[in-house]
């Protein structure tokens, strides 16, 4: 067995960090390690956490990590930073609050930026969870602001998805309509000490009754106050209950299998594009075209389709 | 000349709408029309508007449209909706406020969702601005929330980019650091009737002095209250000043040429990927692999690389 893979399976965090970096920048060493460790994965439970900025996701993650450490479970935290000029700051602040866990060897924290990934973000996060899993981490918490399709894609990796809202989330109803409903397993109304928490919970419950259920799991709506720790024990119990449900119904194995297939297909597509792009950028016809396009002698969109036709990339 | 292209050049809005839809769903008819109309483009001036949710972008767009109509200029408004479960609602509300312009034939409004585009969003928006341009629209306002890389890419299409902040935008400094600075031509502190507007303007100016200038245009920081119309005339004058600067320095022709080249390259890449993906998904080896991957007989990432190698997509 490769040295790196062995150290990873022994739980060495420096090796884990290095392998994640390899995976992020598309270094082929990552593929070898992933292949070797694969049979040793499948033990970690993955919880996805999403919600609008300010709902208290990071405080919740912090509290969950604390609770899990109290149960002597090891924790991995993956924070997905959407690299937004307008939300980047908030996430950065949140990270600072996690600092106390940095000293605990039973907690592994990694922030992943949407920029600077060799491949797509969902695909990279899938690989990272497998690395964490193999290193012996029991529970992986994947936190994302969920502002776009990419971040929703990231959540597919999770076994259980928590959607965190707060009493002031006036856009909650909109959120439920817009795709979150299909991936949410548990809803939390956080900051439940504020006015309107019960009303918000009632609204969500009503919305859920209108929607069609994709499985026979009816997503519960829970009240939490992450700041004081109120309701966190119950959230963890509910996650365990959902896990039991997935296991009993065979859904857990099925979901994870589908996720593996998706990772394969995503990797094929991304790598294919990257390699062909590198080849085509050397093409002399293409280079000659570029000048004519800039000078308005040639129209960009139709020129692109003509170029592909001449290169043999015909429409199906 | 094709009938559709002729009607578009005559300014027929129904044809314009239909051609945009063709472009969005990748219908080849769009390529023909774009090619025919290309020599008739280059007259419209494109203004990009970005900023955090709540800064008052849509009200500003509304006011600018009003001002331009007063000058008998025709206006196109492209609203880029990031299809986010958490921000979608706000944009929807903004659209409603624009309703009064819907009755004005001198204003063309179109919302573009990030989902449901056949190609990438920036590429589609480039094509759309050309269609609007050919139909005789004088000024195109492209509004985006700017939450991610895709939305920043959309702003590249603009000749002048406005960044709209407000006194409470505590994350403004962060925003300046995170990539906005490279594309902003004019900064607005909107809702300037609120406390802290001058302080915010001073903070932005200080930040700008620390940064390096990419051109010899020093981005001004202006105060506006879009709600009452305060400062809107001055914004339009400043946009005209920036246009003059770009024209005199030759930067306008250069930027637009580069944008055309980008559109060509983006189209080549996207179409290539789409066509190859369609071909490869029929591959029997791939289909056989999928079962093994789900069953953990094969590891997804390394299996993907091996598959590409066997199919002839070797690393460069």
Residue A73 predicted with pLDDT over 70: yes
Task: Tell me what pLDDT residue A105 has.
Answer: 86
Residue A153 predicted with pLDDT over 90: no
pLDDT confidence tier of residue B130, bands split at 50, 70 and 90: very high
Between B236 and A101, the higher pLDDT residue: B236
Between A214 and A42, the higher pLDDT residue: A42
Q: Which of B268, B280, B290 to mutate to test the interface with A (most CBs of A within 10 A)?
A: B268
Task: Tell me what pLDDT residue B219 has.
Answer: 92
B278 in contact with chain A, both atoms CB, cutoff 8 A: yes
A89 in contact with chain B, both atoms CB, cutoff 8 A: yes
Task: Tell me what pLDDT residue A313 has.
Answer: 64
Task: Tell me what pLDDT residue A209 has.
Answer: 78
Task: Tell me what pLDDT residue B177 has.
Answer: 56
Task: Tell me what pLDDT residue A188 has.
Answer: 95
Task: Tell me what pLDDT residue B6 has.
Answer: 96
* Those residues with Cβ within 8 angstroms of residue B169's Cβ, 6 or more apart along the chain or in another chain: B51, B52, B55, B175, B200
What confidence tens digit (pLDDT) does each residue in B60-110 have?
999 999 999 999 999 999 988 665 555 444 444 445 556 667 678 899 988
| Distance from the A104 Cα atom to the nearest Cα atom in chain B, whole angstroms | 29
What confidence tens digit (pLDDT) does each residue in B210-242 have?
766 666 898 999 999 999 999 999 999 999 999
CA Rg, chain A, in Å? 22
User: How many residues appear in chain A?
Assistant: 316
> In chain A, which residue's Cα lies nearest the Cα of B291?
A261
Residue A35 predicted with pLDDT over 80: yes
> Which 124-143 residues of chain B touch chain A by CB within 8 A?
126-127
Per-residue three-class SS string for chain B? CCHHHHHHHCCCHHHHHHHHHHHHCCCCHHHHHHHHHHHHCCCCEEEEEECCCCCCHHHHHHHHHHHHHHCCCCEEEEEEECCCCCCHHHHHHHHHHCHHHHCCCCEEEEEEECCCCCCCHHHHHHHHHHHHHHCCCCEEEEEECCCCHHHHHHHCCCCEEEEEECCCCCCHHHHHHHHHCCCCCEEEECCCCCCCHHHHHHHHHHHHHHCCCCCCCCCCEEECECCCCECHHHHHHHHHHHHHHHHHHCHHHHHHHHHHHHHHHHHHHHHHHHHHHHHHCCCHHHHHHHHHHHCCCCCHHHHHHHHHHHHCCCCC
CA-CA distances (angstroms) from residue A84 to A33, A50, A53, B123, B134? 32, 16, 12, 20, 33
> In chain B, which residue's Cα lies nearest the Cα of A52?
B86
Mean pLDDT of A110-129: 79
| Distance from the B70 Cα atom to the nearest Cα atom in chain A, whole angstroms | 32
Smallest CA-to-CA distance from A4 within A42, A30, A43 is with A30
Mean pLDDT of chain B: 84
> In chain A, which residue's Cα lies nearest the Cα of B302?
A31
A77 in contact with chain B, both atoms CB, cutoff 8 A: no
A88 in contact with chain B, both atoms CB, cutoff 8 A: yes
Q: Where are the domains of chain A?
A: 39-249
Record the tokens describing residue A61, joined without a space: 């993650």
User: How many residues appear in chain B?
Assistant: 316
Which pTM was predicted? Answer: 0.74
ipTM summary value: 0.81
pLDDT confidence tier of residue B43, bands split at 50, 70 and 90: very high
CATH topology for B40-249?
A: Rossmann fold (3.40.50)
| Distance from the B20 Cα atom to the nearest Cα atom in chain A, whole angstroms | 13
Q: Which CATH number fits domain A39-249: 3.40.50.300, 3.90.1580.10, 3.40.50.460, 3.30.1050.10?
A: 3.40.50.300
Mean pLDDT of B303-308: 88
User: Cβ contact (<8 Å) for B295 and A257?
Assistant: yes
User: Cβ contact (<8 Å) for A115 and B149?
Assistant: yes
Residue A67 predicted with pLDDT over 90: yes
């Amino acid at each position: 067995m490769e040295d790196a893979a062995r150290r990873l399976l022994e739980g060495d965090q420096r090796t884990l960090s290095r392998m994640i970096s390899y995976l992020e920048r598309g270094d082929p060493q990552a593929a070898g390690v992933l292949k070797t460790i694969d049979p040793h994965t499948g033990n970690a439970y993955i919880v996805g956490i999403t919600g609008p900025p300010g709902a208290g996701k990071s405080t919740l993650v912090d509290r969950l990590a604390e609770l899990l450490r109290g149960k002597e479970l090891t924790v991995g935290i993956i924070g997905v930073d959407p690299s937004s000029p307008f939300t980047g700051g908030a996430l950065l602040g949140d990270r600072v609050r996690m600092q106390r866990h940095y000293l605990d060897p039973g907690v592994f924290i990694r922030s992943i930026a949407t920029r600077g990934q060799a491949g797509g973000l969902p695909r990279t996060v899938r690989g990272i969870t497998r690395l964490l899993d193999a290193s012996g981490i029991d529970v992986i918490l994947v936190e994302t602001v969920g502002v776009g399709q990419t971040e929703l894609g990231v959540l597919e990796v999770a076994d259980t998805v928590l959607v965190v809202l707060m009493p002031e989330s006036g856009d909650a109803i909109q959120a439920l309509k817009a795709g979150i409903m299909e991936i949410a397993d548990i809803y939390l109304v956080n900051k439940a000490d504020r006015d309107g928490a019960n009303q918000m919970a009632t609204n969500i419950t009503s919305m859920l009754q209108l929607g069609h259920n994709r499985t026979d799991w009816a997503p519960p709506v829970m009240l939490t106050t992450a700041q004081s720790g109120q309701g966190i024990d119950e959230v963890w119990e509910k996650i365990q209950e959902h896990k039991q449900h997935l296991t009993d119904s065979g859904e857990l194995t099925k979901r994870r299998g589908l996720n593996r297939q998706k990772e394969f297909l995503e990797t094929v597509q991304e790598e294919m594009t990257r390699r062909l792009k590198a080849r085509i950028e050397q093409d002399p016809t293409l280079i000659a075209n570029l000048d004519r396009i800039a000078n308005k002698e040639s129209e960009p969109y139709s020129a692109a389709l003509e170029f592909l036709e001449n290169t043999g990339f015909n429409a199906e």
